[in-house]
């Protein structure tokens, strides 16, 4: 006679909760935030006269910084596939 053990299956959670716990995702988000902050700092340092504050240019610098942060963590070389 065969004896079978009961399967121990546990709920893994939703797609969102699994994604948040992923180390690569956390690293990407961290680098995106750092890149965006550096883009904002660059805007402030490059335009010392903040009387002519340009929100569009600030947002472009933040977007470029965030893209660089994303690219650094998700490029093929960062994944070890060079």
Residue 48 lies in a domain: yes
The mean pLDDT of 57-72, rounded to a whole number, is: 94
This prediction has a pTM of 0.75
Average pLDDT of the chain is: 88
Count of the separate structural domains present in the chain: 1
**Residue 11 within a domain:** no
Contact call for residues 32 and 70 (beta carbons, < 8 A): yes
Stretch 36-54: mean pLDDT, rounded?
A: 86
Residue 8 has pLDDT above 90, yes or no: no
What confidence category does residue 27 fall into, taking pLDDT thresholds of 50, 70 and 90? Answer: very high
80 in a structural domain:
no
pLDDT of residue 34: 97
Asked whether residue 55 is assigned to any structural domain, the reply reads yes
Q: Which domain holds residue 34?
A: 30-74
Structural domain includes residue 23? no
Phi-psi region of 42 (alpha: psi -120 to 50; beta: other; left: phi over 0): alpha
In a domain? residue 21? no
In a domain, 22, yes or no: no
């Amino acid at each position: 006679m065969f004896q079978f053990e009961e399967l121990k299956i546990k709920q893994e959670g939703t797609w969102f909760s699994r994604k948040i716990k992923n180390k690569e995702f956390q690293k990407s988000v961290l680098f995106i935030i750092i890149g965006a902050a550096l883009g904002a700092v660059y805007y402030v340092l490059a335009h010392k006269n903040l009387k002519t504050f340009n929100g569009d240019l600030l947002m472009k610098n933040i977007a470029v910084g965030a893209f660089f942060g994303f690219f650094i963590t998700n490029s093929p070389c960062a994944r070890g596939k060079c």
